[in-house]
Structure 1
Amino acid sequence: MGRITGRTAGRTTGVGAAGTSEPKKKAHRTHRWRRALLATLITGAVVVPLSGAARPEIPAPAPAALAPVTAATLDETYAANRANAAEASRMAAAHGNRERAAADRAMADPSRHFLSFDGRGPGLATEVFGDLAHADRIAVLVPGSDTSIDTYDRFRDAARALHERLTREAPHGTRTAVMAWLGYETPATVSTTVTTAGRAEEAAPKLREFIRHLPALTADRKPRISLLCHSYGSVVCGRAASHLDVDDIALVGSPGTGADTAAALRTPARVWAARGSDDWVAEVPHVRLDLFGTVVGFGTDPMSPSFGARVFAAGDGGHSDYFRPGSTSLVNLARVVLGETSEVRHG
């Protein structure tokens, strides 16, 4: 459950000051959560079709045709994807979409390093920060809802802030890389899809394949890999976890993973969890309900003792503040990536 459970932990059952028994209070809360979830479904059913109808498809070229990428061909891959982004920008501009044209044009900048780029629809991209081929420590960021090429800058800012922190904190001789993996179509925050695991189930095989291919990109090194999963991205990581060869999985601002415990993720990786004290996701019902044949919600709160994750401090930030420069959460995430687990400040 979410924060409400934490508030009631340790209380005895029976009649309280208001004369209401604890089981009745629980039943009332569950009823309220069910109504909230149904309201979300109804809202999404209306909002999603209308927003989709109002937003025509933006033309873009197919992704660059590339041979399987290796450490030796990274520079060629980066160049090809920049060229593809530049063409996507021209097509978007000709279509009259200045915002998308500007976003694509920024991605075509010579300083950018994209392992993949697809400007069609909401857009997909994987950007690299640092020397991937020679990295000893790699962090892969998996984003949550409402992340697309149109909103990519905020995701990029998170990855860049982490890489800058790692560069400052890494022991002498330790090389780091951060990968911003926008490898799936994220759900809209106000939609039916954000309350179900459908998008996560589609994304999980893609994330597994991406992680499986990483050794080919690191010059046959065996880097330490950390998966940092934000919000709905933690649902994606939960679905993919049992087939991922990673050292750490950190869940931040998570609505749940779909698993009742960290052990149920069936991963040898260390599983971490954090939530800022001002994060609204604490109020999201951590339940899993079958509504008209559709499973809604993601179950146990990863922050709860029953889940069994290694909880670390995230300070007083909100839902979008986990990678804010100087924040407690960013400091601790960097320590997880660097393998300095004894230095992680626990929550």
Structure 2
Amino acid sequence: MPGGHPTPGRHRTRNWLRGLLAALVTAAVVAPLSAAAQPQTPAPAPAALAPVTAATLDEAYAAHRANAAEASRMAAAHGDRGRAATDRAMADPSRHFLAFDGRGSGRATEVFGDLAHADRVAVLVPGSDTSLETYARFRATATHLRDELTRQAGADSATGTGTDTDTGTGSTGPRTAVVAWLGYETPGTISATVTTTGRAEQAAPHLREFIRHLRGIVGEQARVSLLCHSYGSVVCGRAASGLDADDIALVGSPGTGADTAAALHSRARIWAARGSDDWVREVPHVKADLFGTTVGFGTDPVSPSFGARVFAAGDGGHSDYFAPGSLSLTNLARIVRGETSEVTHA
């Protein structure tokens, strides 16, 4: 009421906004100084290839491994042992990249499974603080999902069950592949950029373009699911309109910048989940204008008013959605496999 005491909810929101403003000011001063103090490690330009098809996947994989090997040599000559080791690991013959760029914070798009023959493809979109330096953590989420997809397929085969609820596919189930897409410069967790849609707006056209290229490999008959974690869900939200995907799952999401799932203007089914121990639940789901910049991401994706298909994620924290054996991972794999009637709801 006017002239009365502010409600506890308003008080918390004001405190959060004041703290956020302080963080913005700090980041605006500290980030440029930090960047200036850290010269970039040199790396070659990405391999120049024609659009990749199912028939040219092996050629593309080999070209990107060779590029990673050259990036490793350049990083070593520059004295950056950490980046050299990371790039060298990516040049291993067992690795399969649809894209690799060792410059700056780095970009990489890695494939797990037989993409050329996949009926179902999961594309993982990461959140803040993901770069080549931290790529091993992101890669682990992809391998955990791939392992869970394999486990579920094996269990279905053993019991003679596993009908795909979207296509009616029989007990052998769909053939799956996982793609880890680090195709944008992610914001730092402690930075001004993580509180706005700026990086997501920059990333969105790149994600749309990648999905178009992916369709050129797997064809229109394959079903594509985007699994978007944390700030990655903001990226997926900004890219959703016109994105050729069948499912978009938002996990640990601070919001998408849209007020409702319908406002994403996507033909995809929109899913959302949050673990009971995820700190994102404490972030106020508001949008506020600060000096001409919109801070915050709006409606909570797991709230009824947003209108997503909310599924159970168990009691995990912000980094636990892809933990082996977790309820969230089980449900995410079911979404990817098209067993939507088996997804447990919150």
Match of 2:110 among 90, 108, 127: 127
What is the DSSP-based 3-state SS (H/G/I as helix, E as strand, rest coil) of the residue aligned with 1:149?
A: coil
For 2:87, the aligned partner's letter is D
> Is structure 2 residue 216 aligned with structure 1 residue 216?
yes
State the shift of 1:215 in Å. Answer: 2.1
**C-alpha contact (below 8 Å) 1:47/1:191 kept by paired residues:** no
Retained in 2: the 8 A contact 1:43–1:190? no
Show the counterpart of 2:143: 160
Structure 1 partner of 2:83? 100
Aligned to 2:25: 42
- Which amino acid letter does the alignment assign opposite residue 134 of structure 1? H
Aligned to 1:27: 10
Tell me which residue corresponds to 1:4. none
Shift of 1:25: 2.5
Corresponding residue of 1:200: 200
Q: TM-score, normalised by structure 1?
A: 0.91
Whether 1:311 aligns to 2:323 is no
SS in 2 for 1:156: helix
- C-alpha deviation, 1:277, in angstroms: 1.2
Query: Is 1:293 the counterpart of 2:256 in the alignment?
Result: no
8 A Cα contact 1:126 1:181, kept in partner? yes
SS of 1:159's partner is: helix
Q: Which residue of 2 aligns with 1:144?
A: 127
Instruction: Select 1:53's aligned residue among 25, 36, 47.
Output: 36
- Using the size of structure 2 for normalisation, the TM-score is 0.92
Which residue does 2:184 correspond to in 1?
184
* Aligned counterparts of 2:316 and 2:87: Cα–Cα separation in 1: 30
Shift of 1:310: 1.0
Cα distance in 2 for partners of 1:251, 1:173 equals 24
CA contact (8 A) 1:258 1:299 kept: yes
Give the Å deviation of 1:113. Answer: 0.1
Query: What amino acid is aligned across from residue 329 of structure 2 in structure 1?
Result: L
In the alignment, structure 1 residue 324 sits paired with structure 2 residue 323: yes
In structure 1, the residue corresponding to 2:240 is in which secondary structure? helix
Once the 2 structures are TM-superposed, how far is the Cα of residue 173 of structure 1 from its aligned partner? 5.0
1:231 aligns with 2:230: yes
TM-aligned CA deviation for residue 50 of structure 1: 2.9
Q: Quote how far apart the aligned CAs of 1:335 are.
A: 0.5
By how many angstroms is 1:263 displaced?
0.7
Deviation string 1:280-315 (CA, Å, 9 cap, x unpaired) is 111112111100111111111101111111111111
TM superposition shift of 1:56: 1.2
Q: One-letter code of the match for 1:78?
A: Y
SS of the counterpart of 2:11? helix
Whichever residue aligns with residue 224 of structure 1, its letter is R
Number of aligned pairs? 327
- Letter of the 1:296 counterpart: V
Could you tell me how far 1:42 is from its partner in structure 2?
A: 2.1
Deviation (angstroms), 1:221: 5.5
2:52 is paired with a residue whose SS is coil
For 2:68, the aligned partner's letter is: A
1:341 aligned residue: 340
Deviation at 1:84, TM superposition (A): 0.2
Assess if the C-alpha contact under 8 Å between 1:235 and 1:256 holds in 2.
Answer: yes
How far did 1:51 drift?
2.4
Q: Deviations over 1:189-235 (max 9, x none)?
A: 111111111110010001001111222112x4611110000000000
User: How far 1:316 moved relative to its partner?
Assistant: 1.3
CA RMSD of aligned residues (A): 1.4
Native 8 Å contact 1:134 1:221 kept in 2:
no
2-side partners of 1:24 and 1:321: how far apart? 34
**Matching residue of 1:113:** 96
Partners of 1:157 and 1:105 in 2: how far apart?
17
| Deviation (angstroms), 1:80 | 0.3
Give the share of equivalent positions with the same residue, in percent. 77
Determine the C-alpha separation between the residues in 2 that align with 1:181 and 1:254.
17
Q: Provide the rounded CA distance (Å) in 2 between the counterparts of 1:47 and 1:108.
A: 34
Q: Which residues of structure 2 form unaligned runs of 5+?
A: 154-170
Distance in 1 (CA, whole Å) between partners of 2:322 and 2:199 is 24
Residue type of the partner of 2:255? Answer: G
1:227 is paired with a residue whose SS is: strand
Contact 2:51 2:213 in 1 (8 A): no
The amino acid that maps onto 2:302 is M
2:76 counterpart letter in structure 1: A
How far off is 1:139 after superposition? 0.2
Structure 2 counterpart of 1:97, one-letter code: D
Q: Distance in 2 between matches of 1:42 and 1:302?
A: 28
Q: Give, as a single letter, the amino acid of the residue that structure 2 aligns with 1:103.
A: T
Deviations 1:97-127 (A, max 9, x none): 0000000000000000000000000000100
Distance 1:276 1:63 in 2: 38
Distance 2:96 2:256 in 1: 30
